[in-house]
């Protein structure tokens, strides 16, 4: 990452990654390889970066902050391992998933293991409130996955969508910003403002992710274009498209469960990409970013606050 946002926490991020690697005992060589692989393949590291910047903005103890950031990234990683298993995904960011390399049984345990380590690190922050937030975020994420599995397919509903992306993504950003404020002994008002900041920026992040699922090239995203819609999950661009074109036959068919008709799907994805739906979704993501910056603007000036301001631009402008 070349933005100042990431540069400012590069040193801390190295410590976070080192701590993540340290969580895997050497006497599990197979697991060690898998976690090493997960840590190295990296991803965007937005969650620990937000955690580090928020904590530093408020003068958090550096070691507790590193532990918290590692805990949050490990929790995120654990949910990805189980997600890939549940979806049967073989690639993530173009790299083979744990699921593709191991048996389902081993993937369950790998996720559980990473999750257990995340919980241990959360406990090491020595804050009851952080651990409560951690448990809350985990419950929200899993609830969302269960709702998605049982009731979300084929539903074109904003309410359903917002609940889904809150559970999937914004809840973890809330955990990051709220916990970082909590270990910095901020007063309740600041903790609450930073919680709101995390919520808005997290919602924006997922909306842009969902836009990129339509606009991105398969090679860059590491999965087929419109991968959600192909599984019957209707994200914001498709919702805007459906609202603007309520009689579109392809969309109707997909909402009725016909995800497998490839010709139909390609036609629909092309129509969505060519419609104003993408732009509408971007406008909505910008709205979330703008609200997030209003909350952030209530904090005192600092270099970390400026870096968090930049996060908004990064989220809107990123290509992957």
Binding residues for a copy of itself, per CB under 8 A? 25, 27-28, 30-31, 82, 85-87, 104-106, 108-113, 115-117, 119-120, 122-124, 126-128, 131-132, 134-136, 138-139, 141-143, 145-147, 149-150
Euclidean distance between the first and the last CA atom of the chain, given in angstroms as a whole number? 12
- The residue (of 22 and 146) whose beta carbon lies closer to a copy of itself is 146
- The residue (of 10 and 36) whose beta carbon lies closer to a copy of itself is 36
Distance CA(160)–CA(122), nearest Å, equals 30
Radius of gyration of the CA atoms of the chain, in A: 19
3-state class (DSSP) for residue 302 = coil
Please state the closest distance from residue 109 (CB atom) to a copy of itself, in A: 5
Pairing status of strand 95-96 against strand 91-92? antiparallel
Please state the closest distance from residue 39 (CB atom) to a copy of itself, in A: 17
**Is residue 25 exposed (0-12), middle (13-18) or buried (19+ Cβ within 10 Å)?**
exposed
Distance CA(144)–CA(211), nearest Å, equals 20
Please state the closest distance from residue 196 (CB atom) to a copy of itself, in A: 22
Please state the closest distance from residue 227 (CB atom) to a copy of itself, in A: 17
Please state the closest distance from residue 232 (CB atom) to a copy of itself, in A: 14
List of residues 6+ apart from 103 with CB closer than 8 A = none
C-alpha torsion 188→192→197→202, nearest 10 = 120
- The residue (of 25 and 249) whose beta carbon lies closer to a copy of itself is 25
Distance CA(203)–CA(14), nearest Å, equals 27
- The residue (of 141 and 174) whose beta carbon lies closer to a copy of itself is 141
Render the burial of 213-224: b for 16+ CB within 10 Å, e for the rest.
bbbbeeeebebe
- The residue (of 232 and 287) whose beta carbon lies closer to a copy of itself is 232
- The residue (of 142 and 220) whose beta carbon lies closer to a copy of itself is 142
Please state the closest distance from residue 53 (CB atom) to a copy of itself, in A: 26
Please state the closest distance from residue 104 (CB atom) to a copy of itself, in A: 6
Contact 204, 288 (CB under 8 A): yes
- The residue (of 132 and 279) whose beta carbon lies closer to a copy of itself is 132
């Amino acid at each position: 990452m070349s933005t100042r946002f990431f540069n400012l926490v590069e040193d801390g991020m190295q410590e976070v990654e080192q701590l993540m690697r340290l969580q895997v005992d050497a006497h599990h060589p197979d697991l060690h390889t898998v976690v090493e692989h997960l840590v190295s393949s990296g991803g965007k590291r937005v969650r620990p970066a937000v955690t580090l910047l928020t904590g530093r903005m408020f003068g958090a103890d550096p070691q507790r902050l590193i532990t918290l950031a590692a805990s949050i990234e490990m929790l995120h990683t654990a949910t990805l391992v189980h997600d890939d298993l549940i979806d049967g995904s073989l690639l993530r960011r173009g790299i083979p998933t744990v699921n593709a390399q191991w048996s389902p049984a081993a993937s369950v345990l790998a996720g559980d293991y990473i999750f257990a380590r995340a919980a241990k690190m959360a406990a090491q922050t020595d804050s009851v409130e952080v651990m409560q937030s951690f448990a809350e975020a985990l419950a929200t994420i899993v609830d969302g996955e269960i709702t998605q599995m049982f009731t979300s397919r084929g539903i074109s509903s904003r309410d359903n969508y917002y609940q889904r992306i809150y559970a999937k993504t914004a809840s973890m950003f809330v955990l990051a910003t709220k916990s970082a404020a909590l270990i910095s002994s901020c007063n309740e008002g600041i903790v609450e403002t930073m919680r709101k900041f995390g919520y808005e920026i997290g919602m924006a992040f997922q909306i842009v992710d969902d836009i990129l699922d339509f606009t991105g090239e398969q090679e860059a995203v590491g999965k087929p274009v419109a991968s959600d819609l192909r599984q019957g999950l209707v994200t914001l661009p498709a919702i805007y498209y459906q609202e603007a074109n309520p009689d579109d036959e392809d969309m109707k068919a997909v909402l009725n469960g016909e995800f497998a008709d490839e010709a139909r799907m390609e036609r629909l994805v092309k129509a969505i990409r060519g419609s104003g739906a993408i732009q509408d979704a971007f406008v909505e993501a910008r709205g979330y970013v703008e609200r997030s910056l209003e909350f952030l603007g209530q904090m005192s000036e600092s270099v970390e606050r400026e870096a968090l301001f930049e996060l908004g631009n990064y989220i809107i402008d990123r290509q992957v």
